[in-house]
Amino acid sequence: MNFIDYFKKLKERREKALIPYFTALYPSKASFEKLAITAAESGADIIEIGLPFSDPLADGPVIQHSSQTALKNGFTIAKMFRSIAGLRVKTEIPFIIMTYLNPVLRYGANIFFTQCRKNGVNGMIIPDMIPEEDGPIRKEADKAGVAMIYLVAPTTPEKRMRLIASRTTGFIYAVSVTGVTGQRENIPAYLPAMVKKIRMVTDKPVCIGFGISTPEQAKAAVKYADGVIMGSAVVKITNPVVLKKFIKQVKSGIRITGSTQRYS
Amino acid sequence: MNYPDKNGKFGPYGGRFVPETIIPALDELAEAYASSKKDAKFHAELSSLLENYAGRPTPLYFAKNLSNKHRAKIYLKREDLLHTGAHKINNCLGQALIAKKMGKRRIIAETGAGQHGVASATVAALLGMECVVYMGTTDMERQAPNVLRMRLLGAEVRPVKTGTMTLKDAINEAIRDWITNIKTTHYLIGSAVGPHPYPVMVRDFQSVIGIETKKQIRKSEGRMPDYVLACVGGGSNSIGMFYPLLNEKSVRLIGVEAGGRGIGTKLHAATLSKGAPGVLHGSYSYLLQDKDGQVINTHSVSAGLDYPGVGPEHSYLKDTKRVKYATVTDDEALTAFGELTRTEGIIPALESSHAIAYIGKIAPKCGKNTVIIVCLSGRGDKDIAIINEKLKIEN
Ligand SMILES: Cc1ncc(COP(=O)(O)O)c(C=O)c1O
């Protein structure tokens, strides 16, 4: 699948992408699957699936906890792919895996991306892999047709923004805070300027993540971007009924407002 | 040596595997380090501190009683005599001066045994910087005297309760702090690990150990040693000792890892001996991991060696076979601790006791003129509670 076209279609419908994050097989295999399907059916546009790693150094307490719990419950990469295969039959929503580099390397990049292709994973985010170090991974991802999504941080200078944007085959993940994942009181004041800078170097879609936890924050954040990723706030919700309400609420707040109202 | 390359690679090892947020700070650090290396004023300031504050050069002590016992010529490089009691201060002084130059007023550090935490707190006090040290709660318990020392020196010790609650998790937390406070903070990494430029920078600051040793042994023996032993946690005292000796082809270099309850069990921290290459804490190096790439829990009686990763240069030196890596169990280290204490009147750190213990493994192959140098990386005052419990010392 092509993320650039996918975002173009969303734009034509005057929509912005809502990308909730779920830790794979957390709190259990059945709950994870139920939650992911619920999100897909309630208005999410892309599902981000976190593959737990023992040492998640870009993550705050909530995702650390969910990862540790999943690992304690016997998580394996093979089990995750089986679960994703089951989800793929039920929904066409794009899936993105977020994990750290070591599990992919150890599993074998070739086998890992082959499994992605076979089980319907469309994109990949590896926060501890910068473009300069992506050689072996990138080759396999390209071969399997899995999009690579790279992060831009508030500290990233323009020159690196260009490099990152040029390497991205999915969308650009704009990290909204200098910090780890987790909830924040406010979205930072520099965010609009940061996204504007990214827009100046690329036409590729830009989504904002890290620290976006309320419908209001999501609404404010997507004003300048094409979508929003919500991690810790979503991982905390383990009740499908609550999740459904939350996803609907966020999604309804992030439409492009203006004269042409397509939905009622 | 023409490594690391400009990307910080030692052969395939090293590099930078960290979130994007940190990359510009690593560039800034690499630049500040490169300019300091060329700066005579920086060298003068560092040398003066090493000499007058830390107590360099440290003696290369001929251990007569130990030599008689093992029928070889055994020398100890006395890093234990340095201010704060271990080699860690060599690196801390260097990095703190660079942090100052970069205008960073806050330093953070991780610590296992507490020696690096104490050294960091010490240089922060000296240079008027704010200091936060991350330490696993397991280590806070087993190295309690050092927790108190850090606090007395004005550092904030933040307990880390995640994962195994040891050094690995302390590094995770320190990196998370750094990502969050990247603009104001320097992360003072305590071993030859982490993303480029840390492994090369820490090695350079610790190389003073090997440089002095070479001069000293030439003076006392008129030649290079036959064996050099050092313990390997993250690998800083060992690389500091080995690096200046790499070109001395006749010298056998041996890095000693923590064998815990034995490398046939799951309870050890023998990364190079039992691990496989992977990515942890910003660099590609040997790693103790399962088949899914999850990092495995380690065990060692010594908090400073209880770590599933290792500095990337060691991985390279293992593959090229220039350095041999071996292991010593908890019990062997404890025995060596007792032996050195009672034969030489020197109380070694449990980390260093691993290197001491390896003397017993090579001595049978040695003649009375075989020269063995052991890096005595630190003193063991911090360990006396553990020792007392393990050895049930009787009078
Ligand atoms: C006395 C002493 N020796 C050795 C080590 C191990 O570290 P490295 O391998 O970096 O020298 C430590 C670490 O805490 C230590 O305190």
For residue A27, give the DSSP letter. S
By CB atoms closer than 10 A (0-12, 13-18, 19+), residue A184 is: middle
Å from B294 to nearest chain A CA?
5
Joined tokens for residue A226: 């094409």
Please enumerate in sequence order all residues whose Cβ is within 8 A of that of A99, keeping only pairs 6 or more positions apart, or say none.
Answer: A50, A51, A52, A53, A125, A126
Round to whole Å and give the CA distance between B311 and B191.
8
Q: Is it the case that residue A264 has pLDDT exceeding 50?
A: no
For residue A196, pLDDT over 70 is answered with: yes
Give me the mean pLDDT over the A178-207 stretch.
94
Is the pTM for the entire model greater than 0.95?
yes
Contact B136, B170 (CB under 8 A): yes
More confident residue, A264 or B249: B249
* Global ipTM: 0.95
The tokens for A86 are 């089951």
pLDDT band for A1, please (50, 70, 90 cuts). confident
Q: Which residues of chain B have a pLDDT value below 70?
A: 1, 393-395
CA of B145 to the centre of ligand 1 (A): 16
A55–B280 C-beta distance less than 8 A: yes
Residue B339 · residue B323 · CB < 8 Å: no
Would you call A256 an interface residue with chain B, using a CB distance cutoff of 8 Å?
no
Tell me what pLDDT residue A262 has.
40
The answer for residues whose C-beta is within 8 angstroms of residue A120's C-beta and 6 or more apart is: A84, A85, A87, A88, A95
- Inter-chain residue contact A130 with B20, CB threshold 8 Å: yes
Q: Contact B293/A103 with Cβ under 8 angstroms?
A: yes
pLDDT at A259: 44
Please tell me the distance between residue B277's alpha carbon and the centre of ligand 1 in angstroms: 22
Q: How many whole angstroms separate alpha carbon A161 and alpha carbon B30?
A: 20
Residues contacting residue B6 through CB under 8 Å, at least 6 positions apart: none
Task: Please tell me the class of the A3-252 domain.
Answer: alpha beta
**Phi-psi category of residue A120: left, alpha or beta, with phi > 0 → left and psi -120 to 50 → alpha:** left
Query: A107 to chain B: which residues are within 8 Å by CB?
Result: 291-293
Confidence of residue A261 (pLDDT cuts 50, 70, 90): very low
Q: Is A154 on the interface with B (CB under 8 A)?
A: yes
Q: What gap in Å lies between CA A24 and CA A5, rounded to an integer?
A: 27
What is the model's pLDDT at position A258? Answer: 55
Token pair of B166, please?
Answer: 């040891």
Nearest CA among B308, B304, B388, B387 for reference residue B352: B304
The whole-angstrom separation of Cα B239 and Cα B373 is 14
pLDDT at A257 over 80: no
Map residue A2 onto helix, strand or coil. Answer: coil
- B19: nearest CB among A53, A60, A151: A151
CB contact under 8 A, B163 and A133: no
- Within 10 angstroms of residue B158's Cβ, the number of other Cβ atoms is 14
- Per-residue pLDDT of B315-344, as tens digits, reads 999 999 999 999 999 999 999 999 999 999
| Any atom of ligand 1 within 6 Å of the Cβ of B353 | no
Q: Which of B142, B377, B379, B382 to mutate to test the pocket of ligand 1 (most atoms within 8 A of CB)?
A: B377
| B contact residues 106-165, partner A, Cβ 8 Å cutoff | 162-163
Using H for helix, E for strand and C for coil, what is the string for B159-188?
EECCCCCCHHHHHHHHHHHHHHCCCCEEEC
Residues 6+ apart with CB under 8 A from A46: A6, A17, A18, A19, A93, A94, A95, A96, A123, A227
Residue A155 carries which DSSP code? Answer: T
User: How far is Cα A181 from Cα B333, in angstroms, rounded to an integer?
Assistant: 41
Q: Report the percent of chain B where pLDDT is more than 90.
A: 96
Whether A263 has a pLDDT exceeding 60, the answer reads no
Q: Does residue B377 have its Cβ closer than 6 Å to ligand 1?
A: yes
Task: Please answer yes or no on whether B292 and A105 come within 8 Å at the CB atom.
Answer: no
The residue-averaged pLDDT of A158-164 equals 97
Cβ-based contacts of A127 with chain B (< 8 Å): 19-20
Give the gap in angstroms from C-alpha B187 to the nearest C-alpha of chain A. 14
Q: What spacing in Å lies between the alpha carbon of B259 and ligand 1's midpoint?
A: 15
Give the model confidence (pLDDT) of B1-57 as tens digits.
Answer: 679 999 999 999 999 999 999 999 999 999 999 999 999 999 999 999 999 999 999
Residue nearest to atom 13 of ligand 1 (CA): B304
Asked if residues A111 and B262 have their Cβ atoms less than 8 Å apart, the reply is: no
Phi-psi region of B282 (alpha: psi -120 to 50; beta: other; left: phi over 0): left
Q: Considering only alpha carbons, which residue of chain A is nearest residue B195?
A: A128
Does B182 sit within 8 Å of A132, measured CB to CB?
A: no
Please spell the DSSP secondary structure of A165-225, one letter per residue.
Answer: HHH-SS-EEEE-SSS-SS--SS--TTHHHHHHHHHHH--S-EEEESS--SHHHHHHHHTSS
Averaged pLDDT of chain A: 95
